[in-house]
């Protein structure tokens, strides 16, 4: 069965969705839909519309894969060269490379990149950066709509993928993509069909087409100057437009005048069935971003997997999934169960052998300890009986035998007898037959007396006498000594 990939684009004043079915050999765009939303719509209002659109395509959270486009207005970029070539290694160091050229800490943003060119010295890359707070707020809309995107693609890294067939850039020159929205323009510079830089322009709502075109032309000049400083002296040879205003005749004419270059309206590749388009209130070229993100996820248009949903934003994968994956999961679970049972049986056999070996050792040690017992029935019970007999004999002889003398217990009792709020330093502790002599220091006579009374209350104390008390010479503390007679 074909795998479904759903692309979502929430930008400008529309929500756009794309459904792509991918099989082993090919991929097909089976549905496009766009719905208008107010420019002042709240997160809740957007989420309601999005949830309704996903219901219309019978979205299945367990079966379908979802990708979405992060708008360029939430992004910034950096072009840097790193002395690495492997993608995994570059992603590992990228936040720290970006950190040195931004006012933000590496903990404040997420990032990803596309390679610009590779040399013996490393890789020149174009990175896209999004603040974590902005990404969290963006993903919150999906959470309210009960959707969890698998992938979040930066808009500039998605758009060019869907329209690169329309871009014929001569060698040694730049191609430019203009994504025109209601109040914004995204600018993407390409060289050899590879993104070199991107920028985002905001426009006033009532701005004329001429003023907007002049702002775009000025920004193109600024970006060209920046390239010249980096040693790139190429000129712009082609301009391709996409987005919600791409087919505005007035804006198209004004941009042509401002940049003096022929302009092409992009037609996203892969869309061959207009009958599957639903509620299309926008131009087809405005689907470039969401189609590009979907193509990236399908793997038909890019080998690298770009995703800003990393770290704490990474989606937790479920054990369930596509039906084919369910079969594999069931097989793996069965294998784990069989392995666990086999391991358990082997461990049980090993433990049984170990038990027999230990029992032999215990029997041998028992015979050494109690050679007079010839008939061994229960080592544990017979050992207890022998110990009871020894203890009875010891009690008759008295506590002079250290094996049963409760010295440690009595020392513990005295330690616990000190009240919690009393600081006592013990200097001397003498333990003799029927007597304990204790000398120490505390902060006052009252504290010493409290300590004495606590010891006197112990069940094994017959009598406690203060032998000596004296104020310390070098401090305000009291030296004392006790004689404790034991109740034998």
Q: For residues 361 and 365, give the distance between their C-alpha atoms in angstroms, rounded to a whole number.
A: 6
Range among 64-68, 163-167, 409-413, 418-422 rated most confident: 64-68
Q: Per-residue pLDDT tens for 247-257?
A: 788 988 999 99
Q: Per-residue pLDDT tens for 335-386?
A: 667 766 666 667 666 666 766 777 777 777 767 776 777 666 566 666 667 7
Number of C-beta neighbours around residue 186 at 10 A: 24
Q: For residues 354 and 365, give the distance between their C-alpha atoms in angstroms, rounded to a whole number.
A: 17
Q: Would you list the domain boundaries of the chain?
A: 3-318, 330-397, 407-486
For domain 407-486, the CATH superfamily is General secretion pathway protein M, EpsM (3.30.1360.100)
Per the CB < 8 A criterion, the answer to whether 222 and 264 are in contact is: no
Which pLDDT value is given to residue 273? 46
Helix axes 209-229, 249-259, angle to 10 degrees: 40
In this model, does residue 172 exceed pLDDT 50? yes
Which pLDDT value is given to residue 272? 52
In this model, does residue 276 exceed pLDDT 60? no
- Region 164-189: mean pLDDT is 83
3-state helix, strand, coil in the chain (%, to 5): 40, 30, 30
Contacts of 200 (CB under 8 A, 6+ apart): 72, 73, 75, 184, 185, 186, 187
- Region 317-326: mean pLDDT is 49
pTM for the model stands at: 0.63
Strand pairing report for 184-191 and 109-119: unpaired
Q: Exposure of 459 by Cβ count < 10 A (0-12 exposed, 13-18 middle, 19+ buried)?
A: exposed
- Region 86-109: mean pLDDT is 91
In this model, does residue 303 exceed pLDDT 50? no
> Which parts of 61-133 are beta strand (E)?
65-70, 76-82, 109-119, 122-131
In this model, does residue 290 exceed pLDDT 50? yes
Residue 44 confidence class, pLDDT cut points 50, 70, 90: very high
As a whole number of Å, the end-to-end CA separation of the chain is 89
CATH tag, 3-318: 3.30.420.380
In this model, does residue 225 exceed pLDDT 80? yes
In this model, does residue 488 exceed pLDDT 80? no
Q: Per-residue pLDDT tens for 410-445?
A: 888 888 888 777 778 888 888 887 889 989 888 887
Which pLDDT value is given to residue 274? 45
Residue 321 confidence class, pLDDT cut points 50, 70, 90: very low
Q: For residues 220 and 239, give the distance between their C-alpha atoms in angstroms, rounded to a whole number.
A: 11
Q: What is the mean pLDDT of the chain?
A: 82
Q: For residues 192 and 170, give the distance between their C-alpha atoms in angstroms, rounded to a whole number.
A: 8
Q: For residues 137 and 122, give the distance between their C-alpha atoms in angstroms, rounded to a whole number.
A: 35
Residue 112 confidence class, pLDDT cut points 50, 70, 90: very high
């Amino acid at each position: 069965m074909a795998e479904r990939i759903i692309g979502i684009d929430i930008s400008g004043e529309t929500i756009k969705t794309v459904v792509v079915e991918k099989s082993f050999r090919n991929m097909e765009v089976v549905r496009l839909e766009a719905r208008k939303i107010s420019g002042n719509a709240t997160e809740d209002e957007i989420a309601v519309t999005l949830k309704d659109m996903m219901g219309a395509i019978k979205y299945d959270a367990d079966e379908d894969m979802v990708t979405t486009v992060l708008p360029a207005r939430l992004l910034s970029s950096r072009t840097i060269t790193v002395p690495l070539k492997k993608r995994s290694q570059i992603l590992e160091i990228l936040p720290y490379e970006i950190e040195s050229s931004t006012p933000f800490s590496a903990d404040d943003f997420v990032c990803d990149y596309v390679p610009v060119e590779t040399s013996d010295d490393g890789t020149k890359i174009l990175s896209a950066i999004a603040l974590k707070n902005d990404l969290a707020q963006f993903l919150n809309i999906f959470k309210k709509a009960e959707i969890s995107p698998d992938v979040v693609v930066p808009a500039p890294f998605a758009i060019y993928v869907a329209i690169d067939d329309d871009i014929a850039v001569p060698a040694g020159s730049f191609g430019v993509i203009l994504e025109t929205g209601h109040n914004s323009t995204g600018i993407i510079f390409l060289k050899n069909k590879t993104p070199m830089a991107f920028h985002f322009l905001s426009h006033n709502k009532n701005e004329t087409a001429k003023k907007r075109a002049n702002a775009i032309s000025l920004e193109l000049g600024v970006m060209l100057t920046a390239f010249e400083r980096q040693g790139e002296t190429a000129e712009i040879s082609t301009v391709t437009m996409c987005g919600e205003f791409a087919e505005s005749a007035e804006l198209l004419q004004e941009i042509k005048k401002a940049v003096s270059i022929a302009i092409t309206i992009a037609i996203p590749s892969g869309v061959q069935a207009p009958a599957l388009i639903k509620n299309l209130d926008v131009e087809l070229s405005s689907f470039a971003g969401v189609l590009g993100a979907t193509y990236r996820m399908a793997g038909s248009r890019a080998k690298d997997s770009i995703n800003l949903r990393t770290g704490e934003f990474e989606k937790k994968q479920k054990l369930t999934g596509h039906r084919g994956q369910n079969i594999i999961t069931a097989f793996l679970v069965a294998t784990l169960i069989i392995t666990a049972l086999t391991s358990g049986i082997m461990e049980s056999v090993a433990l049984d052998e170990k038990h027999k070996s230990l029992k032999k050792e215990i029997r041998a040690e028992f015979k050494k300890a109690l050679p007079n017992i010839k008939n061994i029935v229960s080592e544990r019970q017979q050992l207890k009986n022998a110990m009871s007999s020894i203890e009875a004999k010891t009690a008759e002889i008295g506590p002079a035998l250290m094996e049963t003398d409760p010295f440690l217990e009595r020392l513990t009792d005295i330690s616990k007898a000190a009240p919690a709020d009393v600081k006592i330093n013990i200097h001397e502790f003498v333990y003799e037959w029927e007597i304990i002599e204790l000398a120490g220091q505390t902060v006052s006579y009252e504290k010493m007396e409290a300590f004495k009374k606590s010891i006197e209350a112990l069940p094994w104390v017959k009598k406690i006498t203060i032998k000596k008390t004296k104020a310390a010479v070098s401090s305000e503390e009291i030296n004392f000594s006790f004689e404790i007679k034991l109740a034998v």
